[in-house]
Structure 1
Amino acid sequence: MLRRSDTPAQTVRVFDRGALLGAGFSSEALTRGVRAGTILRPRSGAYLPPETHPDIVAAVRVGGRLACVSELARLGVFVRENSTLHVHITRGSSRLRDLPRHVRRHWRPLRRAPHPADATVDVFDALIQAIGCQAPRDAVATVDSALHLRYLREDDLDELFRFVDTKRRSLRRLVDGRSESGTETLVRLMLRALGAHVELQVVITGVGRVDLVVDGWLVVECDSKAHHSDWELQRRDRRRDQALAALGYCVYRPIAEDILFRPELVIAALRGLLRGGRRQYSA
């Protein structure tokens, strides 16, 4: 059975047939392993461990490396749901297979050269690709997520944005790694577009940390599906809302589904709350 090589966390490498034979595997052992499922062979002469992510297997099958939003999603970085498989292909690659319609090719040279056997591009390159492939707000949410998960350092941001398309470089000033979820970033950007002042990850005495405090009085908490499927979590959050109300805060909890797929509803709600709050505070 193949085991992962001693490489950095999350790195997956393709095992070359010749190297495996030189390491002591016989042709018969490789054939038995493939038939038994203890070795994956996505294409002739290329082998992977059995637990390899299916998207990596698919990328190697067509002669490329998993890239862009597909690689970031594998790592748990926020990206829009996308059924397209993003693959980096070296120009002129003799191994290139006919690509299915659901595969998107990336050709541009990589900024951080991977090991020849790596089955994925570096996170740095995946982020460059993802900034160009997504809508601007989604791209900011992706970079925020990579910062929060520590796949990217703050001091790498300037370098990262030097390599993206000129029209996307202005997104650099919107990035804030304090956002703890992609939906939180998206709501923050909505509020910014509405002219609101937003503070992130604010600790409120007697309540704890909240996602966003808007104009000093509106608390916005960005809930995921998990917060709606577990009654204990709902009860905890309602008690937090009650404590916030006692302190004079108004609380709004848009759900992830609306933030992602019905943003106009969330924007309308935010606009209404801000309009009412500004009238009250200016009275």
Structure 2
Amino acid sequence: MSTDIIARLCDSGHVATTAQLRNFATAQDLKRARERGLIRRLARGIYACTHIETPLVLAAQSGGRLDCVSSLARHDVWSGLERPGLHLRMKPHQHSRRSIAGAFVHWSGTLQPGSLLEVAPVDAVLEAIRCLGPDDALACIESALHTRFLSDDQLDLVVAHAPARLHPMLSSIDRGAQSGYETFARLKLVRANLKVRTQGYVPGAGHVDIIVEECVGLEIDGERWHGPERFLHDRTKDRNAELQGLRMLRIGGFHVFNDWDTTLATIRRMVSDAQAQRRPQRRRGRS
């Protein structure tokens, strides 16, 4: 019987109410499973797998649901540079079971049902872009689309319900961005009056994160996704792109956020050198 309870919990997103478990377990079954350390009782009438994440535990104990940047972070969606605090959604006029120190509480209704302890993606993203600055908000949406946390239909809902001040930002969504770092790099390059193209295809090298002025390829590596096992793959990609005449520069998040002036100067120099190298070739081609 304990295995049925655990399986049901896992199938329900690792958390379920007593009513949801009623067909699989009696009150005595739940008590025995708790005593054996197989499940957790988060709040009255709410049970969970023992491996449930802390933010969801706190949401259950407060009587709310995980929301905003806390929900995004849980699903590896861009949630801003700073480590997000705990964001919870409460229904209007709802009383909290327990106050969570330092938690940000959003008191509002939702557009879609969501789960027992977490709001739906459309509501999490909509709340997040209200909390974040414009650039972080754009990075959040592009990341949510790339990770498929947000569907096209849900994006339409976000756009329809977003504050008017965010409409200019929403009109510049680029589906080529694969990380928040790429979004910020693209925005900074555009503001520096450089022409950019995202996920440009280079024969033999594949897709390059950002191609600047059609002559410099920029790859932005996040530490999480570019460990030692990617070293050879990345260097081979750079070599093959150079073979096709595309100058390559590989940078990290630090260069985008903490050393941008030098990074931009480097990109400008590479663009200038690449364009100067191409000019004699064009003249020879016309002669």
Q: With the length of structure 2 as denominator, give the TM-score of the two structures.
A: 0.83
Deviations 1:37-93 (A, max 9, x none): 212111223212333222211111111011111112222222235241111111222
| 1:199 Cα offset (Å) | 0.9
User: 2:232 maps to which residue?
Assistant: 235
CA distance in 2, matches of 1:14, 1:239: 45
Structure 1 residues 204, 14: closer, same or farther in 2, change over 3 A? closer
State how far apart, in whole Å, the 1-side matches of 2:226 and 2:75 are: 25
Q: Tell me if the contact between 1:157 and 1:172 (Cα under 8 Å) persists in the aligned partners.
A: no
* 2:121/2:149 contact within 8 Å kept: yes
Q: How does 1:196-211 map to 2 (within 5 A)?
A: 196-211=194-209
Match of 1:146 among 141, 144, 147: 144
Could you say which residue in structure 2 is the equivalent of 1:90? 91
Letter in 2 for 1:96: R
Does the 8 Å CA contact 1:62/1:98 hold for their aligned counterparts? yes
Matched, 1:12 2:13: yes
- In the alignment, what sits opposite 1:217? 215
| RMSD, aligned α-carbons | 2.8
Report the equivalent of 2:271.
Answer: 277
2:250 is aligned, of 240, 250, 253, to: 253
Amino acid corresponding to residue 250 of structure 1 in structure 2 = R
Give the CA deviation at 1:100: 1.2
**Which digits, 9 at most, give the CA deviation of each residue in 1:171-212, with x for residues without a partner?**
112212221222112211111111111111111113222111
Distance across 2 between alignment mates of 1:146 and 1:128: 11
- CA–CA distance in structure 2, aligned partners of residues 66 and 4 of structure 1: 23
Aligned partners of 1:241 and 1:251 also within 8 Å: yes
Q: Secondary structure at the match of 1:222?
A: strand
The answer as to whether partners of 1:4 and 1:12 remain within 8 angstroms in 2 is no
Structure-2 separation of matches of 1:83 and 1:34: 31
Q: CA deviation at 1:127?
A: 0.5
SS of residue matched to 1:100? coil
**Paired letter, 2:135:** R
Distance in 1 between residues matched to 2:234 and 2:14, nearest whole Å? 43
Contact 1:55/1:66 (<8 A) preserved: yes
Q: Aligned to 1:37, what secondary structure does the other structure show?
A: coil
User: What is residue 71 of structure 2 aligned with on the other side?
Assistant: 71
Q: Which has the larger radius of gyration?
A: 2
Counterpart of 1:136, as a letter, is P
In 2: Cα distance, 1:224 partner to 1:12 partner:
29
Q: Of the candidates 122, 125, 129, which is equivalent to residue 124 of structure 1?
A: 122
Aligned residues: 273
| Change beyond 3 A, Cα 1:18–1:162 | closer
Partners of 1:246 and 1:88 in 2: CA distance: 52
- Matched residue SS, 2:211: strand
List runs of 5+ in structure 2 lacking aligned partners.
Answer: 280-287
Q: Which runs of structure 2 are paired with 1:157-236 in the superposition (5 Å)?
A: 157-225=155-223, 229-230=227-228, 233-236=230-233
Unaligned stretches of 5+ residues in structure 1: none
